[in-house]
Amino acid sequence: MAASMLQRCVRLARGSIKCSTHVFTARRCLLSPAYLDASVWEQREKDPQNLAELALLMDRTYERKLPVSSLTISRFVDNISSKEEVEQAEYYLYKFRHSPNCWYLRDWTIHSWVRQSLKYGARDKALHTLKNKVQYGIFPDDTTFNLLIDSFLKEEDYKGACAVVEEVMLQEAFDLPSTQILSLYAVTKHLATKPELSWREERRLGATLLIAGLKQANSVGLSAQLLGCALLGKVEMSRGIRDVYHEMPLIWTPGYLNRGLNVMEKVCSGATDVKLSKEALDCLEGVLQGLSSAPEAGTGDGEETAQDAKTDETVREEDQLERARLPEYASRFRDLSCKLQSLDRVEPSSLQALVSALAEQELGAAERADTEWYTGKVQEWEEERRHLIQREKEAKEKALQERLARQAARATL
State mean pLDDT over 311-327: 74
CA 26 to chain centroid: 26
Amino acid 294: pLDDT = 66
Average pLDDT over residues 113-119: 97
How far apart CA 374 and CA 43 sit, in angstroms, is 13
CA distances 145 to 169, 272, 394, Å, are: 11, 34, 36
pLDDT at residue 108 tops 90: yes
Mean local confidence (pLDDT), 176-188: 96
Examine the pLDDT at 49 and tell me if it is beyond 70.
yes
CA distance 4 to 12: 12
| C-beta separation of 280 from 226 below 8 A | yes
Over residues 67-102, the pLDDT tens digits come to 999 999 999 999 999 999 999 999 999 999 999 999
The single-letter code of the amino acid at 96 is: F
Q: What is the pLDDT of residue 142?
A: 94
pLDDT tops 50 at residue 25 = no
Between 241-250, 258-267, 311-320, 397-406, the lowest mean confidence (pLDDT) is in: 311-320
First to last CA, the chain: 85
* 169 Cβ contact list (under 8 Å, min separation 6): 183, 204, 207, 208, 211, 212, 249
pLDDT at 28 over 70: no
Task: Give me the chain's average pLDDT, please.
Answer: 87
Helices and strands, counts by H and E, the chain? 20, 2
Does 252 score more than 50 pLDDT?
yes
- In this structure, are residues 339 and 268 in contact, taking their beta carbons and an 8 Å threshold? yes
Between 149 and 18, the higher pLDDT residue = 149
Query: Is the model's pLDDT at 308 over the cut of 90?
Result: no
Closest CA to 3 of 203, 144, 261: 203
Q: What is the pTM of this model?
A: 0.85
What is the pLDDT confidence band of residue 402, given thresholds at 50, 70 and 90?
Answer: confident
Q: Which of 67, 83, 73, 69 is nearest to 49 (CA)?
A: 73
pLDDT at 140: 96
Going from N- to C-terminal start, the domains of the chain cover 47-294+317-365
Query: In angstroms, rounded to a whole number, what is the distance separating the alpha carbons of residues 204 and 33?
Result: 30
Please check the confidence at residue 8 and state whether its pLDDT lies above 80: no
Please compute Rg for the chain using Cα positions. Answer: 26
Over residues 342-366, the mean pLDDT reads: 92
Mean pLDDT of 24-44: 77
Contacts of 36 (CB under 8 A, 6+ apart): 147, 150
